[in-house]
Structure 1
Amino acid sequence: MRLPMYDEIHLPFLKLINSGSVYRVKDAVEALSQEFNLTEEAMNERVPSGSNKFYSQVSFSKKRLIEAGLIFAKVSPYKTTELAKELLELNPKKISNSLINDLKKNGKLGKEKIVQGSPYTTEEYLHKIREINENDPNFFEYISGLVLSNILKVDFKKVVFTPQNNDGGIDGFIKLGINDETICFESKCKMSRPVAVGNLRDFIGALVLRESKQGYYFTTTRYTGDVIRAVNKLKSLKIDINIELIDGDTLVDLLLKYNLENEIVKNCINLNAK
């Protein structure tokens, strides 16, 4: 088998250290070569300076794990930190370079906290969604409709997407029950800025015109305090309209809850293949 990429080594190396079975880089090279089922040819690959390439990869991984605060520096045998134990408890599939950089910068699992059982952080998923949407402006609407169909436990075929140029203030809807109750949704794929209260007012107006009592607002970022207060006020008034706000973090949680993350991964693969 081929040599792994550098960031593919971090997680299995960290697990070896955490198990207490690694004392030197040489020990890790031996154990990881079996982990990756490396061929003799792969194990004999050299870097331009003449050093063994896999040994160099493992040495570099050790350096990165120390920088991230996941293993102690100058401690023999190698030993994982409390931060590493916290991370491993999340059962990640991969420790990405993005996560390493974030840990190096912040020294804790913060906003870039890796999603349990996932190879990506929340922010990496959102970045991928934005990237795909730049090439396919319908993508985020599709993802929103897919998530909503799972929330409402209905067939995705029930999702109706409105025309791009004349959507009437909503991106799609689902009709439910014998009375065809209309559940509407709006999707805002944004780079960094939060959704402002003006956008919410437009959505409320669209719900009124469609005689809909329930709406879902999806975004890849977050909502301003004015938006959150306005939605809470709606719930306290005698107005029969309810709006659910799905921000970027919540969206990724739902994608993973409903096992929809492959929709992002496969579209990234298609994007890179172009």
Structure 2
Amino acid sequence: MPIPDFQATMLPLLQHLADGNEHDNAETHQALSRMFGLTEEEQQQLLPSGKAKIFTNRLAWAKSYLKRFGLIANPSRGAYAITAKGLSLLQASPPRVDLKLLQSLDADAGNQTDAYTGPLLEESPCGNGPMDDPFSQIEQCHATLEQALQGELLSLVRRASPAFFERLVIDLLLKMGYGGSYTDAARTLGATGDGGVDGVINEDRLGLDTVYIQAKRWQDSTVGRPEIQKFVGALMGRHSSKGIFLTTSSFTKDAREYVAAIPYRIILIDGQTLTRYMIQYDVGVAVHTTYAIKRIAMDYFDQE
């Protein structure tokens, strides 16, 4: 089943804590995973950044909001318990607990809380708006912006001159650790048009092995198996087994299946992969804005 959004976990979380005992994070995670019928694979799914598990992250946000609105407490590190306010809410048997309900409870009590100020309930241009926790929304927005950037980059690269494209490939490969010096990389990669190979570059800075390069700055045509076979034939003629085939378009299914079946190490880099590497290695892009997301440093407070 789909992984529940962080607001959908609020009521089950309160119900799990309803016995009044302290429950640690691991126990709570297991209990709510069973409640929602999540498979092990679903529990292990990661956010786009790959740095946190989706379900774990959403539970953390649910705990954060319930704690800030006074429905649960954090009596010891990594453990939570329900409060009298939380028990009172459960006794009212609400069909769902979410940010709107928490806001209304605060308003009814005449309180003003710092826990929530409104934007999370508005439509979001990224992710699922109020269904996603704030961190997921940030990651989804970042992914959306990066996809747009990839499209802009690919358009610019396809319109670039052959000389500029050659320099771009050199810059990228050097940033990725190939080629040794820029001068060596430029000289070897510039030896183009010879028997299906555009150039050769050192695999490492010491030049212990070489990798042959084929680069196609194509607009619409896809690279098929025949082009890859020509490249492999050129590698055989040079007694090499390693190559990078790079294009600004894409590869056909036959081309990819052929590469997967042969005993040669051929890396296929299409337009989408090329621009993703350009962003990853800061080639042709620059940082626009940096946001620092901070959290409590518990080690600092442990000294008390």
Q: Normalised by the size of structure 2, how large is the TM-score?
A: 0.45
TM-score by length of 1: 0.49
